[in-house]
Every structure is written in C-alpha cells, then in structure tokens.
Amino acid sequence: MKLRYLSTASVMAGFVIGSFSSFGCGGGGGSSSGGGGGGNGTGSRVTVSVSGARSQNVPVEIDPARSKINTPFSQDLAPGGPITLYASEGVADRQFQHWLLNGQVLSTQPTLQTTTPAGDFSLTAVYTPRACGPNGFTPNFAGELDPQDGQPNKLYWWHDFPIRVYFDETQSLVDRSVIEQIRAGFDTWHEATGVLGAYELTTDAASADITVRFTHQPEGNGVAFTDLVFFTGDNTLDKATITFIVPRISADAFTRVGAHEFGHALGLEGHSNVPADVMSIPSGLLPLTARDINTLASGYCAYYNRGRHAAPRPAAITEHRATGTAHISCPGSGITGD
Ligand SMILES: [Zn+2]
C-alpha cells in the first residue's frame, strides 16, 4: 500500500471523543478497506479509509505521526497508546457523517481521539452528499430577505461550467484596464470555490451565456444591475446580462462591483444584510466571505449531487421550457462621490 505524506499542517479544531468502549451504536453503512498486511504480533495495525466521497484519495491526518496521508492507508501503532484522527468536515460536495470502527459507528465528530485497541482494526470516515436547500452550506444568507426590496433571496444555477462570457465593447465606453479589473472580480468566485464560476471569453454575442455591457444611462441610485433568464422547472440559468453604469463607479471599484454582479450572474438573486459580505448593498470589500461563498454553493446543490461531469444540457429540451426573469438592481457600492 502506497503512502503519501503531505506537509500541510492541520488547522482543524480538536474535539475530544470518548474511548471505544463508550460507543456501542450499531448499524452504520459504508465500507472499510481490507487488512493492510496484518500486524507484527505485538502491535496494532490500523487501516484508515474513506467512504461516500467521490474519491478514495482523501487526506486524513493521524497522530502520533502528525501527518496528513491520502486514504486508504495503514499504520502500525502501539496498543493502548493514544490515537487521534482528523478528517475534514467537508470533501468537495460531501459532508462528514461519522467514523466507523470495524464497520460500527464510533463517533459523529470528524476529529477522533481515542485509545489504540489491540490487534488489527479499521477506521472509516463516512461522507454523504450535502443536503439541498438553504442550509446546504452554512453560514449563508440564502434564507434571508433582500434588504433592497424586502423579498426573499432566490438561488439559480448554471448547468455546466465553464460558461461563456461576452464583453460588449461596441460603444467603447471603457478601456481594457477596466475590463481587466472587472474580470479580476469575476475570477474571485472560481478562486474561492475551485468549482463554480469558471468561464471563458467569447466574441460571439449570440452564443454567450453572460453578456457584459456598459452604459452612461443612470438607473435610480444604482451602480450596476444584472438581469437573469432562468428555467422555472429546475431554476437553471439560460442567460444573464450584467450592466455597469460607468460614470457611477469609481476607478478603483470595478473589481469589487464586478465580483458583486458576477455573484448575481452566477445565480444569486437578492442581497446580504451583513455589510462585510460582497453581496451586501453597498457591497463589502473583497475577499468574498464565507457567507457569500456558501450562499452561492447552496444554489448549486443539484449540480454537486449530480456530479460535475454530466452530459451537456440538450438544447432541444431547453427550447421548450418555461422561463422566468429577474432584474437585480445594485445601489451604493463603489459610487463615485458616494
Ligand atoms: Zn446587487
């Protein structure tokens, strides 16, 4: 069995879990990998694996070695000595459920601290898909009211990434440096999630998923607004248009406003009540907060559970589906002279 040692230090909080004898819960699904070659007659040998994640190669940190090792792995231990395992609370789209000892539920906390039993044994970290709904990833503002209009926040999602983004420069209202600033704001979502918000630029307006346009025409006290077209059946997005009201955005605010509007274009209809959040009004400063990221991710529950490599959405089906629209106006943030 090949072991891979990673140098990353654990930053997880430690919870002290009771000893083996304290837990007698039966049942428990999941699998545990087979023996790792047997003990040496005097010691114990633990085999650590993960069940329910999309990949087996999930790192688990183990003490006393204090190393993060990709599962599955086996390690020799001294019977009666302390053993601590640190599993991640979440692995991509999955959340930690419980530890199994030889197939029996031992603990529901991702950090497991106990005493090494005699002989060979297995420990399995079981993961399950995150629950869909506003509490899929917390903390978030998915279930809050938009302070802009008092209406409940809503979540939509793109069926596939990368999406195609078209910058409409036909009127030459901004120069290249502004577009680069805006793109830096767009990029923050993919940088933060590693999954959501990947896009590629297109020069073909007709095939664009998201169109970015610029205007000098004010709309209320807004600095920008985003329009969404979505399919009402599953809340997937069909098109989005982001409009920047150029004279109302100060030169150093395009990245922040860009991140805010791209959040809408990725499916967040509504705003946060917490000023630090980039998706509040006026928008908070970058970087994106956990609430920003979790709210977007909550809208992508079906995307996560479906898997990231599903077949592209068939065009023939989408043409006959009912659509709805949303217009999201964003006051305040980055206003020149505000
Ligand atoms: Zn907004």
User: If you ran DSSP here, which 8-state letter would residue 104 be given?
Assistant: E
CA distance 310 to 237: 16
Alpha carbon of 222 to ligand 1 centroid (Å): 9
CA-closest candidate to residue 45, choices 73, 19, 70, 75: 75
Alpha carbon of 243 to ligand 1 centroid (Å): 11
Alpha carbon of 246 to ligand 1 centroid (Å): 15
CA distance 70 to 212: 42
CA distance 19 to 48: 17
Identify the pLDDT of residue 172.
81
Alpha carbon of 170 to ligand 1 centroid (Å): 25
Alpha carbon of 175 to ligand 1 centroid (Å): 23
As to burial, measured by CB atoms within 10 angstroms (0-12 exposed, 13-18 middle, 19+ buried), residue 48 is: buried
Identify the pLDDT of residue 135.
72
Q: Helix (H) and strand (E) counts for the chain?
A: 5, 19
Identify the pLDDT of residue 20.
27
Identify the pLDDT of residue 38.
40
Identify the pLDDT of residue 16.
25
Instruction: List, run by run, the mean pLDDT of 10-residue segments along the chain (338 residues).
Output: 31 26 30 38 84 79 81 89 86 79 86 89 83 77 93 94 94 90 97 92 96 92 94 90 94 95 98 96 92 92 63 52 90 55
Classify the phi-psi angles of 199: left when phi > 0, otherwise alpha if psi is within -120 to 50, otherwise beta.
Answer: beta
Contact 141, 273 (CB under 8 A): yes
Identify the pLDDT of residue 88.
85
CA-closest candidate to residue 158, choices 330, 316, 310, 329: 310
Alpha carbon of 260 to ligand 1 centroid (Å): 6
Identify the pLDDT of residue 306.
64
CA distance 168 to 172: 9
Contact 35, 120 (CB under 8 A): yes
Alpha carbon of 145 to ligand 1 centroid (Å): 13
Identify the pLDDT of residue 37.
39
Identify the pLDDT of residue 96.
81
Alpha carbon of 196 to ligand 1 centroid (Å): 18
Alpha carbon of 83 to ligand 1 centroid (Å): 49
Alpha carbon of 281 to ligand 1 centroid (Å): 7
Alpha carbon of 126 to ligand 1 centroid (Å): 38
Identify the pLDDT of residue 156.
95
Alpha carbon of 2 to ligand 1 centroid (Å): 49
Residue 125 C-beta-side C-alpha neighbours within 13 Å = 32
Contact 262, 283 (CB under 8 A): no
Alpha carbon of 203 to ligand 1 centroid (Å): 26
Identity (one letter) of the amino acid at 180? E
Q: How is residue 294 written in tokens?
A: 């979790």
CA distance 76 to 319: 60
Alpha carbon of 262 to ligand 1 centroid (Å): 9
pTM above 0.85, yes or no: no
Alpha carbon of 334 to ligand 1 centroid (Å): 12
Separation in Å, CA 164 to CA 117, 183, 269 = 55, 13, 20
Identify the pLDDT of residue 52.
79
Alpha carbon of 47 to ligand 1 centroid (Å): 49
Alpha carbon of 331 to ligand 1 centroid (Å): 7
Identify the pLDDT of residue 11.
26
Alpha carbon of 46 to ligand 1 centroid (Å): 51
